[in-house]
C-alpha cells in the first residue's frame, strides 16, 4: 500500500475549520490503496479521545483533560488565545502552550524532526499533503519536497495572512486544492497570467455518512425546540444584532419562553456568555459548548435546527462551516443568519432558510417563523436528494483521480 504524509495543525482533537476535512480525507484513503501517516498538532489525554485506523503523531503540546476547565479546553482546541495572553503564550494546568506565530514555529520544529524520521523509516511515502491555514505545515512541505523530491498536495482552506506565503504555494507548480469554485475564481483573478485554470482543483467539503445519523421526525406535546447556533466571524454590530433579535423574540413570543432552547458551537461561542448576561437571557441555554468533535456531532443530531450566525470578518464571503454538511446529512433543518456570501448560497441550495445579518427586525421575524414552523410540524429538513453531491467519499475519489493525472509515476 502506498503511503502519504499528512501535515496539518487542524487535525482532531483540534476543532478548528479544516480539521473535519483532513480527518475525513485521511480516513477514506485506505479503502483506495493509500495509507496516511499524520502529523497533527496538540494531543489530548483523558476523556473524549478519538482513535483513528492509521499512524498519528503530534508535534504540538500534550494536553491533559483533567488539568483544564471547559473554557480553557474550548479555547485551545478552537485555536483561540486566552482572554489575557501574556508575552504571546498561554498556560493551562502548568503546561506552556505557544500560540500565534510562536506556536507555528514550535509545531514546525517538532514536525520537521518527526517527518525526517518517518521519511527515513518509510521509503514508500510517495507524496505529502499539507493544509493551511496556518502556514507552517505548507512551509514544512515545501522544505521536505525539495529535500526528498516528493510531490505535494497543498490544500488551501483559507486565505494566507502574508502575500509571500500565498505566492510560494499557489505558484509552486505543485497540486493546489481549494474548497469551492468561488475561492478558485478569486485566486485566478488575483494571479491572472500567472495561475492557470488547471493549476487549482476544487476539493469541496462534505459529510461522512458513516458518522451522521438521521433523526426520526416526530414531536411530543411537551417537547421544546432545540436550536444549535454556529457562530463564526461574528463580532461588533453583527453579533449585537443577533442577540438583540434573540431577546426580542423571547420577550414577544409567550410559547417560546417555555418551549425554545438553544446552544452554541463554533469559535464564536466562546464569547456567548457575556452577550447572554448582557441581554438577560442566560437561562435560555441548557447545554454547554462541546469540547470534542463527537460531542458536537451528537449535539447537532439532537437539534431541531442548525443555524449559522456569520459575521463580516476576513474571508466572510467564502466561509462555509464544515459542520453544515454534517447537519445536512443528518437531515436537520438548516438555516443561516448570514451576509450575502457563499454560506448563504449553499444553505439556500439545500433548501435552508436564510436572513441577512444587518437588520434586527428581519432576524426577529426569522426566529419567530422558525419556531412557529417547528411548532406546527412544518420545519423542513434537508431533502435527501440534495445530499449526494456533498458525500465526501465521492470527493476522495476526485482527489485520487487528480493525483493519477498529475503524478502518473506516484
Same domain, 381 and 397: no
Query: What's the rounded mean pLDDT across residues 283-292?
Result: 75
Query: What's the rounded mean pLDDT across residues 127-143?
Result: 96
Residue 136's Cβ-count burial label (10 Å; 0-12, 13-18, 19+) is buried
Q: Please provide the average confidence, as pLDDT, over all residues in the chain.
A: 88
pLDDT at residue 403 in the model = 83
Same domain, 281 and 395: no
Same domain, 156 and 233: no
- Whether residue 130 lies inside any domain: the answer is yes
Q: What is the pLDDT of residues 352-371, one digit of tens each?
A: 999 998 889 999 999 999 99
Biggest distance spanned by C-alpha atoms of the chain: 67
- Whether residue 139 lies inside any domain: the answer is yes
pLDDT at residue 280 in the model = 85
Max mean pLDDT among 36-40, 81-85, 158-162, 349-353 falls in 36-40
pLDDT at residue 218 in the model = 44
Q: Which of 298, 384, 324, 386 is nearest to 48 (CA)?
A: 298
Domain that holds residue 144: 2-206+391-406
Same domain, 283 and 163: no
Q: What is the pLDDT of residues 185-210, one digit of tens each?
A: 999 999 999 999 999 999 999 999 87
Same domain, 73 and 153: yes
Band of residue 286 on the pLDDT scale cut at 50, 70, 90: low
- Whether residue 214 lies inside any domain: the answer is no
What are the residues whose beta carbons fall under 8 Å from the beta carbon of 165, sequence distance 6 or more?
132, 135, 138, 139
- Whether residue 213 lies inside any domain: the answer is no
Question: Would the pTM count as exceeding 0.85?
Answer: yes
Q: What is the pLDDT of residues 301-315, one digit of tens each?
A: 999 999 999 988 778
Same domain, 229 and 171: no
Same domain, 51 and 117: yes
Helices 19-28 and 322-329: crossing angle in degrees, nearest 10, is 60
Percent of the chain with pLDDT over 70: 91
Q: What is the pLDDT of residues 169-189, one digit of tens each?
A: 999 999 999 999 999 999 999
pLDDT at residue 276 in the model = 87
| CATH value at residue 351 | 3.40.50.2000
Same domain, 161 and 52: yes
Q: What is the pLDDT of residues 379-393, one digit of tens each?
A: 998 888 888 889 998
Residue 131 DSSP SS3 = strand
Band of residue 95 on the pLDDT scale cut at 50, 70, 90: low
pLDDT of residue 345 exceeding 80, the answer is yes
Q: Which of 45, 42, 16 is nearest to 110 (CA)?
A: 42
Query: What's the rounded mean pLDDT across residues 92-109?
Result: 80
Band of residue 404 on the pLDDT scale cut at 50, 70, 90: confident
pLDDT of residue 219 exceeding 50, the answer is no
Same domain, 164 and 34: yes
Amino acid at each position: 500500500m502506498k503511503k502519504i504524509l499528512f501535515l496539518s495543525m487542524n487535525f482532531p482533537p483540534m476543532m478548528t475549520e479544516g480539521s473535519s476535512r483532513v480527518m475525513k480525507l485521511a480516513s477514506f484513503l485506505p479503502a483506495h490503496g493509500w495509507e496516511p501517516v499524520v502529523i497533527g498538532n496538540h494531543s489530548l489525554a483523558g476523556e473524549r479521545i478519538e482513535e483513528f485506523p492509521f499512524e498519528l503523531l503530534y508535534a504540538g503540546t500534550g494536553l491533559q483533560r483533567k488539568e483544564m476547565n471547559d473554557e480553557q479546553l474550548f479555547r485551545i482546541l478552537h485555536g483561540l488565545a486566552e482572554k489575557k495572553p501574556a508575552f504571546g503564550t498561554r498556560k493551562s494546568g502548568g503546561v506552556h502552550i505557544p500560540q500565534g506565530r510562536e506556536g507555528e514555529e514550535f509545531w514546525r520544529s517538532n514536525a520537521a524532526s518527526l517527518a525526517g524520521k518517518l521519511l527515513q523509516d518509510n521509503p514508500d511515502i510517495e507524496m505529502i499533503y499539507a493544509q493551511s491555514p496556518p502556514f507552517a505545515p505548507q512551509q514544512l512541505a515545501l522544505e521536505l519536497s525539495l529535500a526528498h523530491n516528493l510531490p505535494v498536495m497543498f490544500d488551501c482552506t483559507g486565505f494566507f495572512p502574508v502575500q509571500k506565503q500565498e505566492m510560494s504555494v499557489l505558484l509552486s507548480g505543485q497540486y493546489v486544492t481549494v474548497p469551492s469554485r468561488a475561492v478558485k475564481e478569486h485566486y485566478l483573478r488575483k494571479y491572472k497570467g500567472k495561475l492557470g485554470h488547471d493549476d487549482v482543483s476544487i476539493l469541496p467539503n462534505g459529510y461522512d455518512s458513516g458518522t451522521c445519523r438521521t433523526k426520526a421526525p416526530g414531536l411530543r406535546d411537551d417537547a421544546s425546540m432545540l436550536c444549535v447556533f454556529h457562530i463564526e466571524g461574528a463580532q461588533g454590530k453583527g453579533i449585537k444584532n443577533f442577540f438583540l433579535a434573540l431577546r426580542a423574540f423571547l420577550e414577544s413570543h409567550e410559547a417560546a419562553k417555555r418551549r425554545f432552547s438553544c446552544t452554541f458551537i463554533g469559535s464564536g461561542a466562546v464569547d456567548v456568555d457575556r452577550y447572554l448576561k448582557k441581554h438577560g437571557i442566560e437561562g435560555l441555554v441548557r447545554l454547554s459548548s462541546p469540547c470534542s468533535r463527537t460531542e458536537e456531532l451528537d449535539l447537532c443530531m439532537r437539534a431541531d435546527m442548525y443555524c449559522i450566525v456569520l459575521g463580516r470578518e476576513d474571508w466572510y464571503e467564502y466561509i462555509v462551516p464544515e459542520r453544515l454538511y454534517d447537519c445536512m446529512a443528518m437531515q436537520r433543518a438548516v438555516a443561516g443568519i448570514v451576509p450575502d456570501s457563499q454560506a448563504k448560497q449553499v444553505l439556500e441550495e439545500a433548501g435552508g432558510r436564510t436572513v441577512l445579518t444587518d437588520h434586527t427586525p428581519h432576524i426577529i421575524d426569522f426566529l419567530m417563523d422558525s419556531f412557529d414552523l417547528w411548532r406546527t410540524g412544518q420545519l423542513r429538513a434537508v431533502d435527501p436528494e440534495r445530499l449526494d453531491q456533498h458525500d465526501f467519499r465521492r470527493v476522495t475519489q476526485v482527489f485520487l483521480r487528480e493525483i493519477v493525472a498529475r503524478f502518473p509515476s506516484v
